[in-house]
Amino acid sequence: MSVEPTGTKAEPLDPAHATRALELASDREQVFELLLRAVRSRARFAALLSVHADHFRGRRGLADRFFDVSQVPNVRIERNTVPAFEEAVATRAPSVGPIATGEPFIDGMLEALGGLAPATFVLPIAIGDRTVALILAHRGGDPLAAHDVEDVFPLVEAGHAALSRVLAKRQRDATQSDGYEVLEVEEKAATVASKREALAAQRKVQAWPEVVATIKELVRDGMNTGDPDEDEQLDLLLELGNIQALHMMRPDRAIEAWKLAQSIDAANPRLLDALEALLVAQGRWSECVESLEKRVALADGKRSKIAALLNLASMAHERLDDDVRATEAYERVLQLDPQNVAAAQGLEALHTQGQNWEQLAGVLIERGDLASLEKAAHLFEERIGDPRSAFLVWMTVMRRDETPVLLVEHLDRLAPLASSWGELVVESEQLADDLVARHPDAAAAIHHQIGRWQRDRLANHEAAITALTRALAIQPSDVDTLYELLDLLRAEGRWMELVAVLAQRAETEESPNLRSELYSEVGDVHETRLGQPQAAIEYYELALADDPESTTVLVALHRCYLATERWAELGALLPRLIDALSPTAPHAVLVELQVELGNLLQEHLDRRADAVQAFRDALAIDPSHGPALEGLASSGEAEALLDATEASVDAQGREEQLRRYGDLAGAWQEHGRLDRAVATWQKLL
């Protein structure tokens, strides 16, 4: 059974088969891959995380087609943030249960591990007493219990044994030196041609020591005589290194052979690949990075240079913990290709890990996409403490975002912190001008915000009115802007501007009640602030047309009609006003209005019969009301006066009634109303 790593699409491996395959594994990556495949056989998703002093790092993932494993290598989770992980590291015992922490940011990172399942299997991988990796597995929303994965538990010990064996071998290879045995070459190989023949025969029977000796002789011959030529010498040295590394198990001798070959063609891809592969296999990361540096220096094309730099950066970070060198490599990539995503993300991860926030912000701004710019803005605000820069970055985002109106809140929050009002107001005005054609709602919101800043922060009401007016011109339906502008105009006593805004708004208002309120205020300003009762009447009448029952408008028109002596309009208005006030007004008010109506009808409109009825209506409420009685008397309607007087006496005490009923009976008799006279005498009885 093959134990070669097979990548993210590797097929699941039965745990029993994995146990046997682990005995044959020759390096750590193979051990990890076998364990990952075994765990995947019992779950729908499995991921490998390496354990570091300060974080867990995603390595690779395997899953069925319903899960995305592409984000697993991007996962970086700080230590001591996921209790389930820390327990596995400490106990080195597998477990099944939830891993969610309740912390949104951490759980957001865990989401990249196939989502937050209700139950996750955590398998620790250890060497000695050190946990070096975790394998996480789950079934998405499907149930997962300990008995479902119990046959994977023995892999904890099998993996430990395999990793210990690989580590022990690596340590022996690094320290052991068995010297170099000089082998005599047979006489028949004295010429180059005979040596070539001998070499072919030795290869065939896999006589590796003899092959090594013959290759060395041929190389010496080539250097001395030019035969074999340098092309053949290069091939021979490549072969020599491979034999030393793969068959003779002499990696140092292999490296010596390949370094000698570099004197022929240092940029040969096969040579560099072989050398770097061996250095990687040996864990000689520093030397491998140096080889990659040489590859970068010797690379002909931009693409190959970038590939080498990316490998260099990754190796320097992950194997040497040399983040300075890794950062330099990523920066060199971005110099060659400013849009290189891998370099940008790698540099972002390094700066995030090292908390180099200003450098990270610079990288994000260079990337220039909206998501990166938003991250940069948050960094300036939350990590760097530079609200001014955050403000300016958000402005850049708003110029490019499809819904910039949703981002105005960031400007509102940051502007007071930036303390650069002059600059920020100018920049914001320019931003609004830039957006007005494509996003008028956002432009209006920005002008509205500028108005608030001018009003509340800079105490510049003139500029605030200008900004709010611009906002309202762009978005006439914005009620908040309207009311704030109106409040400022009232406070500043700018009455002509106030009535213009109110009237314009009223013309477009669809709600009759709201339109009535707007027209009513226009009328009030004309009446009380501008001293223009005639103009006030025009708007009060418009207001009354939209809300005929409005007592406020009726009372206002009553004042203006009186002031302008518009008797006919007043005569039509007073009955409506009396009806509107009847349910709530005191009786005295209603009586006064009825008397006013009677006097108006009698004195200005020559409607005596209607006037008498108004006086009678007043006396029906208050029979003893003097002005109402006087109105009746002045009308010349004697019977009406007698009737009102009798009603007034009826409402008085018995003593007054005894004193006056006789006179009233006589008066009725004089006017020929014997029926009323008799009725009045009967009241005395």
Residue 49 DSSP code: E
CA–CA separation, 578 vs 591, rounded Å?
9
For the residues of 81-111, what is the DSSP string, one character each?
S-HHHHHHHHH---EEE----S-HHHHHHHH
Please state the φ and ψ torsions of residue 121, each to the nearest 5 degrees: -90, 125
**Residue spans of the chain under pLDDT 70:** 1-10, 26-29, 166-190, 222-226, 230, 263-267, 298, 300, 623-624, 635-642, 644-646, 648-650, 652, 656-672, 674, 677-678, 680, 685
Q: Tens digits of per-residue pLDDT, 27-53?
A: 666 788 889 999 999 999 999 998 877
Per domain, the residue ranges of the chain are 7-172, 195-282
* pLDDT score at 470: 93
CA–CA separation, 22 vs 35, rounded Å?
8
Cα maximum dimension of the chain: 175
Exposed (0-12), middle (13-18) or buried (19+): which is 465, by Cβ within 10 Å? buried
CATH classification (class only), 7-172: alpha beta
* Structure token pair of residue 536: 């006030």
CATH topology of domain 195-282: 1.25.40
* Structure token pair of residue 650: 């009826």
* pLDDT score at 298: 67
* pLDDT score at 666: 60
* pLDDT score at 169: 56
Instruction: Tell me which residue of 571, 546, 575, 570 sits closest to 557, measured CA to CA.
Output: 570
Q: Is 5 helix (H, G, I), strand (E, B) or coil?
A: coil
Per the CB < 8 A criterion, the answer to whether 43 and 115 are in contact is: no
Identical fold between 7-172 and 195-282? no
* pLDDT score at 564: 93
CA–CA separation, 248 vs 243, rounded Å?
6
Q: Is 135 helix (H, G, I), strand (E, B) or coil?
A: strand
CA–CA separation, 18 vs 38, rounded Å?
6
The structure's pTM equals 0.46
Per the CB < 8 A criterion, the answer to whether 231 and 247 are in contact is: no
Taking CA atoms, 510 is separated from 424, 505, 506, in Å, by 37, 10, 8
Write the CB contacts of 371 (distance below 8 Å, at least 6 apart in sequence).
none
CA dihedral of residues 649, 652, 654, 658 (deg, nearest 10)? -30
**Angle ∠(160,162,166) on CA atoms, nearest 5:** 115
